[in-house]
Amino acid sequence: MTNDNSLNFYSIFKWVIIISFVVYAVFPFLWLVLASLKTNAELLDNPFKLPKVFQFQNYSNAIQEAGLIQLIINSLVISTCATFLNILFASMCAFAIARHIFWWKNVLFLMITAGILVPLNALIIPYYAIINFLNLYDTRFGLILVYCAVGLPVSTFILTEFFKGIPKEIEEASYLDGCNFVARYFRIMLPLALPGLATAGTFQFILCWNEFIYAMLLTSSTEIRTIQFGISYFTNEFFSDYVGMFAAVVVSILPSITVFILFQERVITGLTAGSVKG
Amino acid sequence: MKIKKDEVGWLLLFIAPTLILFTLFFILPILFLLASSFTNWDGIDAEFVGFENYIKLFNKKSFVRAITNNLYWCITAALITVPLGLIIALLLSHRSRGWKVFRTVLFVPQVVSSAAIAMLWAAVFNAEYGLLNFILDNIGLSDYKNHNWLGNVRTANAALIGFSLCYVGYFMVIMLAKTASISEDYYDAAKIDGASQIQKDFYITAPLIKSTFFLCIILAVIFNLRQFEYVYLMTAGGPANKTQVLVVYIWNELTVQRLGRGSAAGVIMIALGAMLLLLLRRILKSETYN
C-alpha cells in the first residue's frame, strides 16, 4: 500500500504528541513527590538526583506543621454537607420540572440553567455582603450554603435531563394506585435515578472540594479553614522549608488523586456531563 | 403528569429550596452588584455617584491591563489549548492500545484543585530550586540560571499562560467522548476508498465533532474569564500589575473596602462575559451552517 510510509510517520507523530503532553501533565507531580522526600540541601543541589535517604519525616513534620488533618476533615465535612443539600434540593426541583406540567416550568428551568453561564467570581462583593448580613461570616454553615447554591444550576440541569430519560410507566402506575407526590419522589424516582444522582453528586463534590475563592472570602479562623485555602498559607508557614511545603502539597493532592483513580469513569463523566449535554 | 389540585402545595414546596437559594445567590447578588456599582460604598456608607466608578476604572491602566490579560487568556485557550485538545482527541480516538491510560493521565490536572496546581507550578518556575531552570541549565541554556520566571516583567505572563496548557486534557476528554458516537460505517467506507489514518481523522472525525469543538471553545472562554487562583497564588497580579486579571482586581478592591468600585468592575466583567458569549455564538453558528 502506498499509504504505509505516511502511516508510519503519522504514528510516530502521534506518539510524540501524546507522550509529550503526558510528560507535561504528570512530570511536575512526580518531581514534586521526589522533591518532597529530600532534604532542603539536596533539593537546591540537584532537582533530579534521588535522595540519599528518603526523608519520610518531611511528611510527619508537614502534617503537624500545617495542621493538615484538621484541614482535610474540615473540607470533608463542608463538601459532604454541601453536596448532600445540593443534590437533595436540585433533585426535588428537577423532579417537579421533569415530571409535571405547570405553565411556568420552562421559564423556571431556563432561568436556573442560565445561572451556569454567570461568571460567579464577579459576585464576590455581594456574596461577602449577603453572608455578613445573614450573620454567617466565618461559619461552616455559611460556606455550605454558598457551595450548595452555586452548584444548583449545573445539578438541576444534569438531573432534569436524567429524570426526563426515565420511562414514565412505573410512575404513572403508582400514581393511579394512589401513590402521592412525596412517595413518588422518594420511592420511585430516586431509586431509578441513582446513576444520575451519582454523576451530579460527583461533579458537585469535586467542585466543593477544590473551591478556593469563597473559602478565602467567607472564612477566617483556622478551625474551619478548608484544605484549599490552607494551601495558600503553606508559603508562609514553611518559609524556607521547601521540602516540608512540598510534602504538604502532596498530602493535599492525594485525596483527589486517590478518589480519581478509584472511580475514574464516574469522575470523568461527572466532570464533563454538565458540558457535553449543554 | 398533570398536577392534582391537592398536590400543588407539594410541587411548590419541592421547587422552593432551589428557587430561594437561586434568588439569594444569583438574582439578588447581580441586582446588588449593579446597584452598588453606582455608589461609593465602602462597607459603611454609600452615596450615589453616577458613572464615576466606571469612568475611573477605564482610566486606570491596571484595570485596562486586567481586561486585556483576561482576553489574552481566553484567546490562548481558544486558539491553542482547545485545538491541541482536538489533536490529542483525534489521536486517541484510534483507540489503540493503552488509550484509556493516556486519557486518565491527561485528565489528572482537572481533578486536582487549582490552588494545589498553582503551588506546584510556582515551584516549577522557582528561581532557586525550580525544575524549569534546572532543565534549561542542563540543556545548555545557562542564561536562564536563577531566572525568576514569575517575578520578571517580561516572562511572567508567558509563564502563566504556558503552564495553563496542562489543562488540555479536559477539552480532550469532552471531544474524545463525542468521537465514540461516530458510526463505524464512515470509517469502513473510507477504508474501501483507500483513505489513510490522517485523512480519516481530519476528513471524518474532526468535522463530525465540530459542534463539541465549538462547545469547548465556549467553555474555555468562560473558564478563563473567571479564573482567579493561578494569578492570585502565583503572581498576585504582579510584577507591576503585568499579570493582573479581573477577579484579582475585584479582590484587591474588596480588601481595601472600595466596594463600589469593585462592584463596577464586577458589572464590567459580567457584561464582558455576555458579550463574548454572544459574539462566539454568532461566529460559531455561521460556521456550523456553512
Give the domain CATH number at B238: 1.10.3720.10
Contact A101 B2 (CB under 8 A): yes
B116 part of a folded domain: yes
Q: How far apart are CA A178 and CA A196, in angstroms?
A: 26
B26 part of a folded domain: no
Contact A10 B197 (CB under 8 A): yes
pLDDT (tens digit per residue) in B78-113: 999 999 999 999 999 888 888 888 888 899 888 898
Which of the four pLDDT bands, split at 50, 70 and 90, describes residue A274? low
> Are A18 and A94 within one domain?
no
> Are A27 and A91 within one domain?
no
> Are A152 and A234 within one domain?
yes
Which of the four pLDDT bands, split at 50, 70 and 90, describes residue B289? low
B234 part of a folded domain: yes
B1 part of a folded domain: no
pLDDT (tens digit per residue) in A99-119: 888 889 999 999 999 998 889
pLDDT for B150 beyond 80:
yes
A99 touches chain B (CB under 8 A): yes
Question: What average pLDDT score do residues B31-45 get?
Answer: 92
State residue A266's pLDDT score: 82
Query: Number of structural domains, chain A?
Result: 2
Q: How far is A203 from chain B (nearest CA, A)?
A: 10
Domain boundary pick from A41, A59, A77: A59
> Are A54 and A72 within one domain?
no
pLDDT (tens digit per residue) in A146-202: 999 999 999 999 999 899 988 888 888 888 888 888 888 998 899 999 989 998 998
> Are A106 and A34 within one domain?
no
Query: Number of structural domains, chain B?
Result: 1
B32 part of a folded domain: no
A89 touches chain B (CB under 8 A): yes
> Are A88 and A130 within one domain?
yes
B261 part of a folded domain: yes
- Higher-pLDDT residue of A278 and B167 is B167
B24 part of a folded domain: no
Instruction: Domain of residue A35: give its range.
Output: 4-59
Domain boundary pick from A38, A59, A80: A59
Contact A264 B104 (CB under 8 A): yes
B81 part of a folded domain: yes
> Are A24 and A152 within one domain?
no
Closest chain A residue by Cα to residue B15: A93
CB pairs under 8 A between A and B: 269
pLDDT (tens digit per residue) in A229-253: 988 888 888 877 888 888 989 988 8
The string of DSSP letters for chain A reads: -TTHHHHHHHHHHHHHHHHHHHHHHHHHHHHHHHHTTS-HHHHHH-SSSPPSS--THHHHHHHHHTTHHHHHHHHHHHHHHHHHHHHHHHHHHHHHHHH-B-TTHHHHHHHHHHGGGS-GGGGHHHHHHHHHHTT-TT-HHHHHHHHHHHTHHHHHHHHHHHHHTS-SHHHHHHHHTT--HHHIIIIIIHHHTHHHHHHHHHHHHHHHHH--HHHHHH--SGGG--HHHHHTTHHHHHTT-HHHHHHHHHHHHHHHHHHHHHTHHHHHHHHHHHHHH-
Which residues pair with residue B2 across a beta bridge? A101
Mutation pick from B119, B134, B193 vs chain A, by most beta carbons of A within 10 Å, is B119
Q: How far is A81 from chain B (nearest CA, A)?
A: 15
Would you state the cell numbers that stand for residue A67, as one nine-digit string?
Answer: 495542621
pLDDT for A276 beyond 90:
no
Q: How far apart are CA A53 and CA A110, in angstroms?
A: 60
Contact A228 B115 (CB under 8 A): yes
Instruction: Domain of residue B208: give its range.
Output: 54-289
State residue B31's pLDDT score: 96
